Structure 1
Amino acid sequence: MPPRPEQKTVLITGCTPGGIGHALALEFHAKGLHVIATARNISVLAEMAEMGMTTLALDVTKAASIKECHDEVALLTGGRLDILINNAGRTHTIPATDLDIDDVRETFETNVFGVMAMCAAFADLLIQAGGLIINIASLAAITPYVFGSAYCASKGAVVSYSRTLRLELKPYGVRVMVAMAGTIRSQIASKTHRVLPPASIYQRVADMFQRRLTFSQNNATVPTDAFARKLVASALRPEWPVILRSWFGRPDWFYAGGWAGKVWFATSLGEWVLDTIMYRMFKLHNLERAIKQEQAAQKKLK
């Protein structure tokens, strides 16, 4: 079913049920927008199609898939797109010294290159509509999220890319919002398939690593629909001059989810604050103590 005349359109990547994209699709649909929900496996979107949303197969790591999606959207909307939400993402929890670089490349393909490819591909439709891009980043971009270096790096790249993209698209009337998401109930954050390699230098704290895998689902975690309501409300605000956006209009930066307010405040005090909090929260001070005790014992034996 195509959008009605004058009905705004929003394309969302990564709409598998149970995640942020799915919640955003439901909320935008409730607000009267025509939602174009996408996922690699279109069959999981059947219920959304029954609700009247357009559902399309999309793999943001494949150029051919992106082009096919673009062409279908252009035909559906008459060459316009009001909002693009780059939500598709991949979690990555493993110590920096245990990273498999091919695994890291897969994370960047989805979290970074997929975002870049989508923005480039859909720029023409967004320009025609004077539209809005929302890139879903994370507090991990500005937080030393222990054992999440690859994920932090990918979200940090999204933040830096989005800041520059915002200026480059400003002359064309396209806005760019970055969503700094905190801990939110999500399917992606619940995956626990990674394990420490047998030779990992963090085997002493393997139990803590296991808890870290589901940290975002057990610490001030915000319901997905609550996050979606806040983000959609911000996205649909009217335009205001840049100095007033944070209070009245669509903000350039959107902070929500567990820990969002605390991290925002802590960054204003200096990076040492978050460094100290993360170091102790993930028990690295205990590991440091154990290492020092082992070193002291070895010295006595010499």
Structure 2
Amino acid sequence: MSSSAPRQKVAVVTGASSGIGYAITRQLAKHNYQVYACARRLEPIETLVDEFSTTLIKPYKLDVSSMEDIIKFKNFLSETLREGKLDVLYNNAGQSCTFPALDVTDAMVEQCFKVNVFGHINMCRELAQFLINAKGTIVFTGSTAGVISFPFGSIYSASKAAIHQYARGLHLELKPFGVRVINAVTGGVSTNIADTRPLPQDSIYNFEEGQEAFKARQLMAKNNRPMSADVYAEKLMNDILSSRDPLDVYRGTMSSILSWVSLIVPYCVLEWGLVKKFKLEKVFAVLKKKDVKKD
């Protein structure tokens, strides 16, 4: 009597239409995973379908900020997953928010947290049983911004710090079920996530020196020799295939160095370094002069 064919491993990747998500989807397919490549825009994923076929790449339209979309996806997987098993959930969908702390609107904050925090939490909760069934792996695209709050990035940093802590709790709570949780503390990676929105007209930083500093911050990743998304994905694929259970892995340009700096350098010194790095001395000088004139 012949035995049934072995079950093909299955992965879900969010934010799969570009950058890290696209590269991770490609790596998983190379390792013969059937990948549900989830994104709001499916057209860019068609090139992966052409490369690997519809057997391995399954595009799925999903907005992680929509609870309705997530529930529909869960129901879809309930009907399609063999033995109800999901081997990898890669929470990669991301929303940038590079804006001065006093200029962010409620809508900006809400959208950033809906995608970077609530979306991942909701995906984990709703798909948890599939991962438990497979003793699978959950991965988050964390960030060095969740460790060091860079200027003009307080909201993005707050969202990444939140998901880092969620990953820590999840890592502990899923241990009894044999589910691994990996938080990829990500440094510079060449993607198109950079925020290009200009300063508001009424921003306190809307003057020549402030605009220059703001622009430099927007180009931070691009100007610091970011790792290619393909190289990053290869490294993360090794983490997924490994039997280790480290929680935090440091991938991307400067990720390990910046994380160590945050641990050992006093914050006053770190803050001084951020002022120097982003050339904020001139900005602060202008603001102090304006404050004096105002008084």
Question: Is 2:104 aligned against 1:99?
Answer: yes
Aligned identity (percent) is: 34
Question: Relative to structure 1, is the Cα distance of residues 164 and 250 closer, same or farther in structure 2, using a 3 angstrom cutoff?
Answer: closer
**1: CA distance, partners of 2:136 / 2:15:** 20
**2: CA distance, partners of 1:253 / 1:295:** 43
Q: How much does 1:288 deviate?
A: 2.4
- Specify the alignment match of 1:244 in structure 2: none
SS of aligned partner of 1:188: coil
**2: CA distance, partners of 1:291 / 1:90:** 30
- Specify the alignment match of 2:6 in structure 1: 5
The alignment of Structure 1 onto Structure 2 pairs a total of residues equal to: 283
Q: How much does 1:210 deviate?
A: 1.8
2:255 corresponds, among 236, 250, 260, to 260
- Specify the alignment match of 1:74 in structure 2: 78
* Equivalent position amino acid for 1:57 in 2: K
**1:25-80 deviation digits (Å, cap 9, x = unpaired):** 11111122222211112333222233231221111111221122222223332211
Question: Relative to structure 1, is the Cα distance of residues 43 and 288 closer, same or farther in structure 2, using a 3 angstrom cutoff?
Answer: closer
- Specify the alignment match of 1:284 in structure 2: 280
1:117-128 to 2 correspondence within 5 Å?
117-128=122-133
* Residue pair 1:74, 1:80 contacting (<8 A) in 2 also: no
**2: CA distance, partners of 1:289 / 1:40:** 43
1:116 corresponds, among 115, 121, 136, to 121
* Equivalent position amino acid for 2:112 in 1: T
Q: How much does 1:293 deviate?
A: 5.3
* Residue pair 1:234, 1:251 contacting (<8 A) in 2 also: no
SS of aligned partner of 1:11: strand
- Specify the alignment match of 1:54 in structure 2: 58
* Residue pair 2:213, 2:280 contacting (<8 A) in 1 also: no
Q: How much does 1:223 deviate?
A: 0.6
Q: How much does 1:283 deviate?
A: 1.5
**2: CA distance, partners of 1:131 / 1:32:** 16
Question: Relative to structure 1, is the Cα distance of residues 147 and 253 closer, same or farther in structure 2, using a 3 angstrom cutoff?
Answer: same
Question: Is 2:21 aligned against 1:25?
Answer: no
**1:144-182 deviation digits (Å, cap 9, x = unpaired):** 211011100110110111111112222222111101111
Worse-matched range after superposition: 34-43 or 176-185:
34-43
1:36-185 to 2 correspondence within 5 Å?
36-50=36-50, 51-52=52-53, 53-78=57-82, 79-185=84-190
Worse-matched range after superposition: 211-220 or 19-28:
211-220
**1: CA distance, partners of 2:252 / 2:270:** 17
* Equivalent position amino acid for 2:127 in 1: F
Q: How much does 1:125 deviate?
A: 0.2
1:200 corresponds, among 200, 203, 206, to 203
**2: CA distance, partners of 1:42 / 1:294:** 49
List alignment gaps of at least 5 residues for structure 2. Answer: none
- Specify the alignment match of 1:274 in structure 2: 270
1:235 corresponds, among 236, 240, 253, to 240
Q: Structure 1-normalised TM-score?
A: 0.88
SS of aligned partner of 2:6: coil
**2: CA distance, partners of 1:292 / 1:69:** 53
**1: CA distance, partners of 2:287 / 2:48:** 53
SS of aligned partner of 1:96: coil
**1: CA distance, partners of 2:263 / 2:215:** 31
* Residue pair 1:139, 1:263 contacting (<8 A) in 2 also: yes
**2: CA distance, partners of 1:199 / 1:43:** 38
Q: How much does 1:295 deviate?
A: 6.2
* Equivalent position amino acid for 1:274 in 2: L
